[in-house]
Amino acid sequence: HGDDIIVDALSGDVIINPNEDDLKVYTDKRNKFLQDKEELKKMNDKEAITTDGHRVQLWANIGGTKDIAGVLRNGADGVGLYRTEFLFMDNDRLPTEEEQFYAYKEVAESLGGKPVTIRTMDIGGDKALPYMKLPHEENPFLGYRALRVCLDRKDMFKTQLRALLRASAFGQVKIMFPMVIDLNEVRATKALLEECKAELRAEGISFDEHIKIGIMIETPAAAFRAKHFAEEVDFFSIGTNDLTQYTLAVDRGNEAISRLYDTYNPAVLEAIRLSIEGAHAAGITISMCGEFAGDEEATELLLGLGLDAFSMSASSIPKIKKNVIASSYADSKVLATEAMALRTAAEIKERIKKA
Ligand code: PEP
Ligand code: MG
């Protein structure tokens, strides 16, 4: 309606009909933002390596092929989380094996040999799928979702597994399973994957015989028993969005309790620490693909805890890379040890600020 509006996309503030002062403040703010962005472009050709030579991987999270340009533009080492549920949600029926195969193949090929971790569908909870007619649930986040649905609907799951295996012939594809709480789920899933491999061999269709499989650590059940899970898979990825929600019993989407949703809560950090320790005890790698991996304040702490790879929205990669490059691995270990000895999230944040 002819009003001038300033939208501050960083804070979420909107100013309608700004005055002279507002205009000055926000013009300066925008210029500074664009300048920083330009500066961060210099990070794209650099490796994420600390001052004392410790290299970590920085990966991107994607929801489909449309996100690949951003991955390549921001200097990612690969894709640490491809959320496949959008392929299912942007449809009015289950996608076929061919449709899935082409989607996964396109991503694998476009990364030019860099790895892509593709997560099997994580429907349920906050992600509904009307055509599947899943029952109404009082507690969807604690209910019929992700691997629980997949292990029940083996036909549907095998379609996805076959498509993933086929795509593995066209790039460096890894498969990851969400919402694991029990080793039996892992074993049942691996058995289904072996069935799919046998079928493809019999059909003469090629796939990566050494394809790596991993699980998300996003439930306390998986974190507590990390070292046991680690003996049966090739890698872990910590899903802090759900791990925070389930560790603290705080709904990740409920605004009324959002101040309680805090990954710095020592209980969540302890779950992260246990997961990393469990992975390394068994000699497997561990990444993080929840939002916490892209938290600029958390980089040094996570480095110090021993995280091998950080996966985040592609646009966050340059900033996190800058943090890694400015950090010393030795100092970050000291920070992590000290932070983990503190009692509250506030104390931990305070200690990090001092670093
Ligand atoms: C997570 O839970 O941290 C995660 C990466 O998965 P999603 O956000 O898709 O549940
Ligand atoms: Mg999750």
Residue 318 CB–ligand 1 contact under 6 Å? no
Residue 206 CA: distances (Å) to CA of 154, 165, 169, 170, 197: 22, 8, 6, 10, 9
Residue 294 CB–ligand 1 contact under 6 Å? no
Residue 26 CA: distances (Å) to CA of 2, 4, 36, 158: 19, 13, 15, 53
| DSSP-derived secondary structure letter, 124 | B
Q: How many other C-beta atoms are found inside a 10 Å radius of the C-beta of residue 209?
A: 9
* Residue in 85, 216, 237 to alter for ligand 1 test, most ligand atoms within 8 A of Cβ: 216
Which token pair is 25? Answer: 């403040």
Kindly report the CA angle at 184 between 178 and 189, in degrees rounded to 5? 55
By CB atoms closer than 10 A (0-12, 13-18, 19+), residue 324 is buried
* Residue in 237, 245, 289 to alter for ligand 1 test, most ligand atoms within 8 A of Cβ: 289
The CA R_g of the chain, rounded to the nearest whole Å, is: 21
Which token pair is 220? Answer: 């306390």
For residue 76, the surrounding DSSP H or E stretch is none
The residues pairing with 237 across neighbouring beta strands, listed in sequence order, are: 216, 287
pLDDT at 136: 86
pLDDT along the chain (355 residues), means of 10: 93 95 96 92 94 98 96 96 94 96 98 96 84 87 94 97 98 98 98 98 98 98 98 98 98 94 98 98 98 98 98 97 98 98 98 92
Ligand 1: atom nearest CA of 83 is 9
- Choose among 307, 296, 297, 352: nearest CA to 329: 307
For residue 305, the surrounding DSSP H or E stretch is helix 299-305
The residues pairing with 13 across neighbouring beta strands, listed in sequence order, are: 8
- Choose among 56, 119, 35: nearest CA to 325: 56
CB 43 within 8 A of CB 62: no
Distance CA 262, CA 260 (A): 6
For residue 6, the surrounding DSSP H or E stretch is strand 5-8
Residue type, 294: G
Residue 242 CB–ligand 1 contact under 6 Å? yes
Q: What sign does the CA torsion over 278, 284, 289, 293 have? A: positive
The residues pairing with 61 across neighbouring beta strands, listed in sequence order, are: 81, 313
Residue 289 CB–ligand 1 contact under 6 Å? yes
Q: Kindly report the protein residue whose alpha carbon is nearest to atom 9 of ligand 1.
A: 83
The residues pairing with 313 across neighbouring beta strands, listed in sequence order, are: 61
Distance CA 243, CA 204 (A): 41
pLDDT at 335: 98
- Residue recorded with tokens 């709480």: 181
Helix axes 183-203, 154-167, angle to 10 degrees: 60
Ligand 2 centroid–CA 184 distance in Å is 19
Q: Kindly report the protein residue whose alpha carbon is nearest to atom 4 of ligand 1.
A: 239
Ligand 1 centroid–CA 217 distance in Å is 10
Q: How many other C-beta atoms are found inside a 10 Å radius of the C-beta of residue 308?
A: 18
User: How many angstroms separate the most distant Cα atoms in the chain?
Assistant: 73
Distance CA 17, CA 15 (A): 6
- Choose among 272, 270, 273: nearest CA to 290: 272
| DSSP-derived secondary structure letter, 55 | B
The SS3 call for residue 286 is strand
Ligand 1 centroid–CA 50 distance in Å is 27
